[in-house]
């Protein structure tokens, strides 16, 4: 029975539960046991989780998600359950409320299975910045799963959770999805409430699904979107998210930007990407060259804007009200300094310092103001491209999963992981990563990006490509 | 610059904070209160809990616009909230949500005093320092009551059009009456729903140039405001007469002793 359950996508499992062929409780118990074993496994496990439910699911209302359990990135606030955002400064912190996205999924029938490991405050591309230890990639345990939603991606890839919730600021859903051989979707900024997501960079953070296939991503997204009176930047999604069913791409115009698909892309990744383009053409798509002239500056702008926002967002972690407070401080300033010194990891400190500098008086316009203007240019580039094409295709990440420790000493090399994903984040547009092949036995991700609120069409196109590419995403089942 | 011989005149501008009489706080749905048990009107938003987000109170914006209309201000077609970042235990998010370059209202006047701007912001929580000093330095412990935190404030800033302590006091009474008539605030100084800071400088009478100003903080009654301003004018006059110069600083007036002391210390620097 167990291997049988592992084969099911979330949609298939929900279907069986609805048909009375499978009990939601049995499915929950099955995954709970797998997740708990990983958590108990120490060095032998993947270290995907920071918390796993004990016993049966807390009340799971029957909904369209049919009782399929959900793994949730640590940074989503979950009432009475540790929500630490991968940071020591929030060690043991249990919020008194639950994030809107998690609450909506629970109401739709997806009970909380586990909280997943992540880079501290979502700052990282390898999950090595977690205060709770790195996550291992199920395709090769000596390699990283990507980040910052590394625990969510690895858990889904390894069959430790049917599906997972993540967040994406500059690629934090798409890049780990690519490195772990699963599907990851960053929705249009504002389509999913950010209420209850422990903030990294508020103008970029967006929740989204990490799933085994495109259909599961659509199923989860359909229950997440919608305006929330607690998030003033949330919008009513126009229409509903449907079930993707397209099998062909006839008449679909796909743009390939030279700026994001040539230089800096590893050979094996480029080969898999080129094969995907051939598949797309075989499905009837028209392939066109498009230009995103400002995209090469996206990473520079991002590493001004995101740290600037984080330096302000993380000011609240001062030891006064929650989380850890350093002992033995001489006075108030000493308490602040020691608490933040002990509580934050090196990458978080680096970004707070970068951001504080970029916002400091006299430098504000030269850094923050200028980065904002680059951001506008990038959004204009996409708008112009979408006059010509329906979607833009790029590799999701320039490389496959790299070795643990390989890039920890070189922040700039680490930042390059997000080279292809950051432009879409700055433009606020939806983008999905689907697995498109292997390079050296490791998964390669294909990124499709569309105009704001084009999720339905985007999921349809991804669905057609996914069928044609026929990726076998089952490392852990082996 | 020798001003010893000439006549000096005082130049005074006021910054007034008015707690708005809305039902709920500026960015959450907690009720406004005064005198209730501590920390009974709080939620994830006004406690600055991780993941919480502010949603602006429409009624507070409406009140802000009413103030602008009453003062003949220009109402902004587009107005932006900004974060004013600094660390202090009465500020749960590490920043105060305020307005910077696009305030709700600009310009206007009340009587012959011109208004510079009116903007909206959120109030800080209430800190009590335990121990003999009553200040954070040297206190045994400090406790925070977040009931007040997040209360909507309108900040009204005048141009430096006032010339004496008496005139400032009279004008402030006119403003209080105006706000009371509008029904936007209780404007009660004892309860803190009306607070006033004064910027004070001296210059040669008839000169157009402004002297170096000091900021006299948080005077909590009409009597203290007049006495405080008078004391500060006297202090500056004496300083200049003795050949000294005024340095820009934030000051505190102690009504019991009549003394003026410097308030600004590192932890209160808001830059
Ligand atoms: Zn509140």
A131/A226 same-domain check = yes
The last residue of a domain, from among A351, A371, A391: A371
Chain B partners within 8 Å of A76 (Cβ) = 51
Instruction: Render each residue's pLDDT in chain A as its tens digit; 478 residues.
Output: 456 899 999 999 999 999 999 999 999 999 999 999 999 998 889 999 999 999 887 666 677 888 999 999 999 999 999 999 999 999 999 999 999 999 999 999 999 999 999 999 999 999 999 999 999 999 999 999 999 999 999 999 999 999 999 999 999 999 999 999 999 999 999 999 999 999 999 999 999 999 999 999 999 999 999 999 999 999 999 999 999 999 999 999 999 999 999 889 999 999 999 999 999 999 999 999 999 999 999 999 999 999 999 999 999 999 999 999 999 999 999 999 999 999 999 999 999 999 999 999 888 889 999 999 999 999 999 999 999 999 999 999 999 999 999 999 999 989 999 999 999 999 999 999 999 999 999 999 999 999 999 999 999 999 999 999 999 877 754 3
- The model carries a pTM of 0.94
The domain segmentation of chain B, as residue ranges, is: 2-265
A211/A93 same-domain check = yes
For residue A263, is it within any domain?
no
A236/A320 same-domain check = no
Answer whether A322 sits within 8 Å of B136, measured CB to CB.
no
Answer whether A315 sits within 8 Å of B85, measured CB to CB.
yes
Which candidate, A392, A83, A376, A351, places its Cα nearest to that of A203?
A376
Distance A325 CA to ligand 1 centre (A): 23
For residue A477, is it within any domain?
no
The predicted pLDDT at position B268 comes to 42
Looking at the structure of chain A, the number of domains it has is 2
A182/A325 same-domain check = no
Q: Where are the alpha helices (DSSP H) in A225-297?
A: 267-282
C-alpha distance from residue A294 to each of A153, A308, A470, B122 (Å): 30, 21, 34, 39
Would an 8 Å CB–CB cutoff place B131 in contact with chain A? no
For residue A43, is it within any domain?
yes
Q: Are A396 and A186 in contact (CB under 8 A)?
A: no
Query: Could you tell me the CATH number of the domain that includes residue A132?
Result: 3.90.1300.10
The last residue of a domain, from among A371, A400, A418: A371
What b/e sequence results for B58-84 when a residue is b if at least 16 CB atoms lie within 10 Å of its CB, and e otherwise?
Answer: ebbbebbbbbbebbebeebeebebbbe
DSSP letter string over B189-221?
Answer: TTTTSEEEEEEEEEEETT--S----EEEEEE-S
Task: Tell me the residues of chain B between 31 and 90 that have a Cβ less than 8 Å away from chain A.
Answer: 44, 47-56, 83, 85, 87, 89
**Cβ-based neighbours of A162, under 8 Å, separated by 6 or more:** A8, A9, A10, A13, A27, A31, A68, A69, A70, A156, A212, A216
**Cβ-based neighbours of B241, under 8 Å, separated by 6 or more:** B4
Instruction: Render each residue's pLDDT in chain B as its tens digit; 271 residues.
Output: 444 457 899 999 999 999 999 999 999 999 999 899 999 999 999 999 999 999 999 999 999 999 999 999 999 999 999 999 999 999 999 999 999 999 999 999 999 999 999 999 999 999 998 877 667 777 778 899 999 999 999 999 999 999 999 999 999 999 999 999 999 999 999 889 999 999 999 999 989 999 999 999 878 788 889 999 999 999 999 999 999 999 999 999 888 888 898 876 433 444 3
The predicted pLDDT at position A376 comes to 98
A227/A360 same-domain check = no
The predicted pLDDT at position B6 comes to 73
Quote the Cα angle for B56-B60-B64, to 5°: 120
What is the distance between the alpha carbons of residues B77 and B71, in angstroms, rounded to a whole number?
Answer: 17
A230/A83 same-domain check = yes
Distance A79 CA to ligand 1 centre (A): 17
For residue A264, is it within any domain?
no
For residue A46, is it within any domain?
yes
A340/A224 same-domain check = no
For residue A158, is it within any domain?
yes
The predicted pLDDT at position A286 comes to 98
The last residue of a domain, from among A371, A387, A402: A371
Which candidate, B129, B117, B130, places its Cα nearest to that of B79?
B117
A202/A89 same-domain check = yes
Domain of A327, in residue numbers: 298-371
Would an 8 Å CB–CB cutoff place B265 in contact with chain A? no
A244/A342 same-domain check = no
A241/A315 same-domain check = no
A234/A307 same-domain check = no
The predicted pLDDT at position B267 comes to 37
For residue A107, is it within any domain?
yes
The predicted pLDDT at position A477 comes to 43
Chain A partners within 8 Å of B126 (Cβ) = none
A121/A18 same-domain check = yes
For residue A442, is it within any domain?
no
Chain B partners within 8 Å of A197 (Cβ) = 51
What is the distance between the alpha carbons of residues A163 and A111, in angstroms, rounded to a whole number?
Answer: 11
Q: What residues flank ion ligand 1 with Cβ within 5 A?
A: B 28, 30, 43, 45-46
CA-based nearest residue in chain A for residue B85: A312
């Amino acid at each position: 029975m167990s291997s049988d359950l592992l084969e099911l996508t979330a949609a298939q499992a929900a279907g069986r539960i609805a048909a009375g062929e499978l009990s939601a409780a049995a499915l929950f118990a099955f995954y709970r046991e797998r997740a708990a074993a990983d958590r108990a496994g120490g060095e032998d496990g993947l270290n995907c989780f920071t918390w796993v439910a004990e016993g049966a699911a807390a009340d799971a209302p029957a909904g369209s998600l049919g009782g399929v359990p959900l793994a949730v990135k640590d940074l989503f606030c979950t009432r009475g359950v540790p929500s630490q955002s991968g940071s020591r400064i929030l060690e043991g912190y249990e919020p008194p409320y639950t994030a809107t996205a998690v609450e909506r999924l629970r109401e739709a029938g997806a009970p909380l299975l586990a909280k997943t490991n992540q880079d501290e405050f979502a700052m990282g591309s390898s999950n090595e910045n977690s205060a709770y230890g790195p996550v291992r990639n199920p395709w090769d345990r000596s390699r990283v799963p990507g980040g910052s939603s590394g625990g969510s991606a690895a858990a889904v890839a390894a069959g430790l959770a049917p599906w997972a919730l993540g967040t994406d600021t500059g690629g934090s859903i798409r890049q780990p999805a690519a490195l772990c051989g699963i599907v990851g979707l960053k929705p249009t900024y504002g389509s999913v409430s950010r209420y209850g997501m422990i903030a990294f960079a508020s103008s970029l953070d967006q929740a989204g699904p990490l799933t085994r296939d495109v259909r599961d991503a659509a199923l989860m997204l359909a229950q997440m979107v919608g305006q929330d009176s607690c998030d003033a930047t949330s919008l009513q999604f126009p229409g509903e998210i449907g079930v993707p069913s397209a099998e062909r791409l006839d008449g679909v115009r796909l743009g390939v930007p030279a700026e994001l698909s040539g230089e800096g892309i590893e050979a094996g990744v480029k080969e898999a990407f080129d094969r995907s383009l051939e598949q797309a053409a075989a499905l009837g798509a028209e392939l066109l060259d498009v230009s995103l002239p400002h995209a090469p500056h996206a990473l520079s702008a991002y590493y001004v804007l995101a740290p600037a926002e984080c330096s302000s967002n993380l000011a609240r972690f001062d030891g006064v009200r929650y989380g850890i407070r350093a002992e033995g401080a001489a006075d108030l300033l000493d308490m602040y300094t020691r608490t933040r010194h002990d509580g934050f990891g090196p990458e978080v400190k680096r970004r707070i310092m970068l951001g504080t500098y970029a916002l400091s008086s006299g430098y504000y316009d030269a850094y923050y103001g200028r980065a904002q203007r680059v951001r506008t240019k990038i959004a204009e580039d996409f708008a112009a491209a979408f006059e010509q094409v329906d979607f833009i295709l790029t590799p999701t990440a320039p490389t496959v999963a790299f070795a643990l420790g390989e890039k920890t000493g070189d922040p700039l090399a680490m930042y390059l992981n997000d080279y292809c994903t950051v432009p879409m984040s700055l433009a606020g547009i939806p983008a999905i990563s689907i697995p498109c092949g292997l390079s050296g036995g490791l998964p390669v991700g294909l990124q499709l990006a569309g105009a704001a609120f084009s999720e339905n069409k985007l999921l349809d196109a991804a669905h057609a490509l996914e069928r044609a590419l026929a990726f076998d995403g089952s490392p852990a089942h082996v | 610059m020798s001003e010893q011989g000439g006549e000096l005149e005082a130049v005074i501008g006021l910054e007034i904070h008015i707690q708005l009489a809305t039902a709920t706080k500026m960015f959450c749905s907690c009720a406004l209160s005064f005198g209730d048990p501590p920390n009974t009107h709080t939620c994830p938003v006004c406690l600055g809990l991780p993941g919480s987000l502010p949603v602006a109170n429409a009624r507070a914006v409406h009140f802000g616009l009413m103030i602008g209309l009453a003062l003949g201000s220009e109402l902004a077609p587009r107005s932006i909230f900004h974060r004013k970042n600094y660390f202090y235990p009465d500020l749960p998010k590490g920043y105060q949500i305020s307005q910077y370059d696009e305030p709700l209202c600009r310009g206007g006047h009340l009587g012959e005093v011109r208004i510079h701007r009116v903007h909206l912001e959120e109030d800080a929580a209430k800190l009590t320092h335990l121990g003999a000093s009553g200040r954070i330095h040297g206190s045994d412990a400090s406790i925070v009551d977040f009931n007040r935190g997040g209360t909507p404030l309108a900040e009204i800033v005048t141009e430096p059009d006032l010339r004496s302590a008496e005139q400032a006091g009279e004008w402030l009474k006119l403003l209080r009456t105006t706000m009371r008539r509008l029904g936007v605030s209780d404007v009660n100084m004892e309860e803190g729903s009306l607070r006033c800071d004064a910027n004070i400088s001296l210059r040669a009478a008839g000169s157009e140039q402004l002297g170096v100003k000091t900021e006299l903080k948080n005077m909590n009654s009409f009597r203290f405001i007049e006495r405080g301003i008078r004391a500060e004018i006297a202090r500056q006059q004496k300083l200049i007469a003795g050949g000294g110069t005024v340095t820009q600083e934030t000051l505190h007036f102690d009504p019991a002793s009549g003394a003026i002391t410097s308030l600004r210390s590192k932890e209160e620097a808001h830059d």
